Amino acid sequence: MGTEMGMNKGLMFSEHLNSFVRFQRYSIVICYNSPADESSECVHWIIFLRSYPHLESCCMEEIETSWTRLQKAFVDDHRQMTRGYQHLLDLLGNRDFPSAAREASRLDTVAGPHIEFEERYLYPEVERVRGDDCTITFDPEHAGVLSVIAELRVLPHDAAPKAESVAAWKQHLRSGINHASACGALLNELKDLPEDEQTALLTALMGLREKGSRWTEMEPPADKND
């Protein structure tokens, strides 16, 4: 009896929730991800959702859009890359060059699809939306980090690089970490694009991930001054 009543109650809530999600999905997202005022209408729905995990899952899946998926994928890529750059900095600081060579080879694979997405899709689209060459400094910054990865990944096991070379590598990696923050903000320039265009960008990024090209295998970007 109790189970049947619970199921009926769950179905009733589910129907009400479906209607609520359709018309107030963004309110749920905001309240779900930030401290909610107890007087807020949304807080009661959050409590309800957390009481019924299967409905919470359905609700959040419905809320997810191409834009949120693109943001998540982009941020995940940047997180992996910046952690890798920092790890390389630490290894170079310890003069652990064999480990640095292995990490550079790993980063070559991890960063390749994302860098290709930025240079082939993100930068041109941002410049089209903004109408200026706002990304003109980004290609040289990519080139600096790429030079570090290209040199380190083929470093002989018994190599003993000069201090000047190590200092230059570190400088490029620090610039790469700073670049990731600035570049991440660029994605927000595209938040008002039509959903089909955002979907196309997401599809492009996922396709490049699946292809899995190394960064060192990419064709260099065309010179914007040509």
Averages of pLDDT over each 10 residues, the chain, 226 residues: 44 42 37 39 43 48 80 94 97 97 97 95 90 78 95 94 97 93 84 94 96 90 56
The per-residue b/e assignment along 122-132, b for 16 or more CB within 10 angstroms, e otherwise, is bbebbbeeeee
Q: What number of other Cβ atoms are within 10 A of residue 51's Cβ? A: 11
The whole-number pLDDT of residue 13 equals: 41
The whole-number pLDDT of residue 11 equals: 41
Contact criterion met (CB below 8 Å) for 118 and 183: yes
Query: Cα–Cα distance between 135 and 126 in angstroms, integer?
Result: 8
Contact criterion met (CB below 8 Å) for 212 and 112: yes
Terminal CA-CA length for the chain: 77
The whole-number pLDDT of residue 181 equals: 78
The whole-number pLDDT of residue 26 equals: 35
Of residues 112, 142, 129, the one with CA closest to residue 198: 129
The whole-number pLDDT of residue 63 equals: 62
Per-residue pLDDT of 49-106, as tens digits, reads 444 455 444 444 446 899 999 999 999 999 999 999 999 999 999 999 999 999 999 9
Residue 107: Cβ-neighbour burial (10 angstroms; 0-12, 13-18, 19+) = buried
Q: What is the DSSP letter of 96?
A: -
- Please provide the DSSP assignment of 153-166 as one string: HT--TT----HHHH
Whole-model pTM over 0.75: no
